[in-house]
Amino acid sequence: MTTDPTTRESKDFYRHIAQTSDNPLGLEIEQARGVWLYTRDGRKILDFISGIAVSSLGHGHPEVVRAVQEQAARHMHVMVYGEFVQRPQSALAGRLSTVLPEQLDRVYFVNSGTEANEAALKLAKKHTGRHRFLAFRNGYHGDTQGSLSVTGRDVYRRPYEPLLPEVDFHDFNSETVLESITPEVAAVILEPIQGEGGIIPADPEWLKEIRKRCTKTGSLLIFDEIQSGFGRTGKLFAFEHYGVIPDILTMAKAMGGGMPLGGLASSTDIFKAFMFDPPLNHVTTFGGHPVSCAAADTALRVLLRDGLMERAEVIEQTTRKILHGRGIELLRGKGAMLGLQLSNVETTRKAVFYCLEEHGILLGWTLHSNTLIRLAPPLVIEQELLERTLITIRDAIARYA
């Protein structure tokens, strides 16, 4: 579906912007406010995927916008990361330390999710002196070389091989991984709820066993909460549902309140690996940009103050109540990170396009699954609109089932 491809911007988009597929949605965005996207051709579209789990507070939250404007006026980039005391970075790190466990009381800021995972993999290697990683089929950790090396889909990895050597993949939620966590393993990396793999939550007992094995072998446990973090699942981080604390937590997406930001949290001891032998062995120019950190600090404050994590729980309950019926096989996930498993590709595709074209509801697939509809509305969506939208989605699926 494209908007009028005759506008100047649209022509430049198709002619001069490097494309990621031959079939982009191509909506021409004029403005985005709250749960709504406004297109140049006058349509008002409900963003039911939050820009892929980013806009939890809705688009253009006024307090976040103000924080961005004020910080941009105060200062933007002043120095490479880690040299100067910059108030927004310190404030955000301090606030995060009040909501994260003691073992995760230090944070390294980067610009994106994949950079957070790159840094986490390097940190695990340097801290442990090992270089073997364990990862999971259908996991997704980003598209730079390190993150791609631990991403569990051959079809994405193969064109770029050779990647990192010594990465072993296991089935998610399968016990086979446990005996592979040996003293040669630098780290096990996983999403507590696989996002792009099809919104698949980890089994709580399995996660606890992995934690035990990692502790025993000195392998680090990395949780990628880039998609599941910042309230989306009903807790600030999904690991809180499981009572399992990782050695390294990676985050991004909703973290910046709409601005680009990522980070990894770990302990002082583990982060020492980045300080010495040699110093400056992992640096970034723009990581923790002050404007992004100001936005993130405000976004986190608003998330906690407005009880949006609880709101995610209500979204799940409402969705489970309304979404059942013809064509719907299963509803998976937690909070407002949900996946609707349908019986076939055609029904999924038709229902998604029908919702967009006839009802102005933006839904999506996940990267590794084309029979799953992703549901990830902004946590601020009003209850009445939520219910109405879910009924429309249910009827759309029944129509094509």
Site of interaction with ligand PLP (CB under 6 A) = 52, 112-114, 117, 140-142, 191, 195-196, 224, 226-227, 252
Tell me the residue number closest to ligand PLP, measured at CB. Answer: 113
The residue among 138 and 347 lying less far from ligand PLP, judged by its C-beta, is: 138
Least distance (Å) from ligand PLP to the CB of residue 160? 15
Instruction: Tell me which residue of 270, 223, 267, 219 sits closest to 245, measured CA to CA.
Output: 223
The residue among 54 and 214 lying less far from ligand PLP, judged by its C-beta, is: 54
CB 333 within 8 A of CB 201: yes
The residue among 10 and 145 lying less far from ligand PLP, judged by its C-beta, is: 145
The residue among 120 and 396 lying less far from ligand PLP, judged by its C-beta, is: 120
**Long-range pairs for 20-28: beta carbons < 8 A, 24 or more residues apart:** 25/1, 26/1, 26/2, 27/1, 27/2, 27/3, 28/3, 28/4
Least distance (Å) from ligand PLP to the CB of residue 123? 16
Least distance (Å) from ligand PLP to the CB of residue 300? 18
The residue among 119 and 396 lying less far from ligand PLP, judged by its C-beta, is: 119
Least distance (Å) from ligand PLP to the CB of residue 250? 7
Least distance (Å) from ligand PLP to the CB of residue 260? 8
The residue among 234 and 327 lying less far from ligand PLP, judged by its C-beta, is: 234
The residue among 52 and 65 lying less far from ligand PLP, judged by its C-beta, is: 52
Least distance (Å) from ligand PLP to the CB of residue 139? 8
Least distance (Å) from ligand PLP to the CB of residue 161? 20
Least distance (Å) from ligand PLP to the CB of residue 193? 9
The residue among 141 and 211 lying less far from ligand PLP, judged by its C-beta, is: 141
Rounded CA separation 338/335 (Å): 7
